[in-house]
Amino acid sequence: EVQVVESGGGLVQPGMSLRVSCTASGFFFEYFAMHWVRQAPGKGLEWVSGISWNSGKIDYADSVKGRFTISRDNAKKSLYLQMNSLRVEDTALYFCAVVATTSSNEVYYDYWGQGTLVTVSS
Amino acid sequence: DIQMTQSPSTLSASLGDRVTITCRASQNIGGWLAWYQQKPGKPPKLLVYEASSLHSGVPSRFSGSGSGTEFSLIISSLQPDDFATYYCQQYKSFPLTFGGGTKVEI
């Protein structure tokens, strides 16, 4: 059974840093791209960042570029998101999402974690 | 960036109704579109990919259609489990973008 579990969320002050993690099991993690998608309270879905299977291709939304860094450790079947210079508008539930195919052109998600809540507030 | 516009934002319907949700892209995305269903407190679930391909395990009352800039998600006969919010997502190019969502309610 595929499982994706996020952790590391919490309450931080504006300008501070936080790292959220995602641990996967039940599938060949090392073969699939992984992404972060967030959802602000009561709002819609917003794509944040994605990383290819071998970390050779990394993309970011403009809203987080230069502040967030995505990485992965295939040996540990883990995905990370280092978030620096956090802003109030970064407050959201952060989902770890598994890209459904190994094709770099087909980036949609068939498995999602339950999310980890990041709250940025003074 | 490709903007995705869904309509309506809220849809009131009854059990057994045929429901159509529309998603419009700001530029041609071919068939690179997915649909998701999300219930409160839960992550999204994949329903359709490549605009019209039903994901494994998704009931056949769901179907997707369209190409280019106009897409639809159709529920042929609304069931109690279908009351949720639905999102479209384009994957023609980065940044990936989602529609604003359509809440289907009684």
- pLDDT above 90 as % of chain A: 95
Phi (first) and psi of residue B15, to 5 degrees: -55, 135
Of the pLDDT bands very low, low, confident and very high (cuts 50, 70, 90), residue A102 is: confident
Question: What is the 3-class SS of chain A, one letter each residue?
Answer: CCEEEEECCEEECCCCCEEEEEEEECCCHHHCCEEEEEECCCCCEEEEEEECCCCCCEEECCCCCCCEEEEEEHHHCEEEEEECCCCHHHCEEEEEEEECCCCCCCCCEEEECCCEEEEECC
Phi (first) and psi of residue A29, to 5 degrees: -50, -40
User: Are A107 and B91 in contact (CB < 8 Å)?
Assistant: yes
Chain B residues lying within 8 Å of A52, measured CB to CB: none
pLDDT at B9: 97
pLDDT at A105: 81
Closest CA to A71 of A54, A86, A84, A87: A54
Q: Quick one: closest CA in B to A103, which residue?
A: B91
Contact A106, A100 (CB under 8 A): yes
Closest CA to B60 of B32, B79, B88: B79
What is the pLDDT averaged over residues A55-73? Answer: 97
Phi (first) and psi of residue B83, to 5 degrees: -75, 115
pLDDT at A51: 96
Q: What angle do CA B16, B90, A89 make, to 5 degrees?
A: 100
pLDDT at B46: 97
pLDDT digits (tens, 9 = 90+) for A23-57: 999 999 999 999 999 999 999 999 999 999 999 99
The size of the A-B interface in CB pairs under 8 A is: 56
Q: Pick from B50, B94, B98: which is nearest to A45 by CB?
A: B98
B86 touching A (Cβ < 8 Å)? no
Of the pLDDT bands very low, low, confident and very high (cuts 50, 70, 90), residue A104 is: confident
Which site among A46, A57, A108 would you substitute to test the B interface, given the most B Cβ atoms closer than 10 Å to its Cβ?
A: A108
Of the pLDDT bands very low, low, confident and very high (cuts 50, 70, 90), residue A6 is: very high
pLDDT at A47: 98
pLDDT at B106: 80
User: Are A106 and B32 in contact (CB < 8 Å)?
Assistant: yes
Positions of chain B with pLDDT under 70: none
pLDDT digits (tens, 9 = 90+) for B76-95: 999 999 999 999 999 999 99
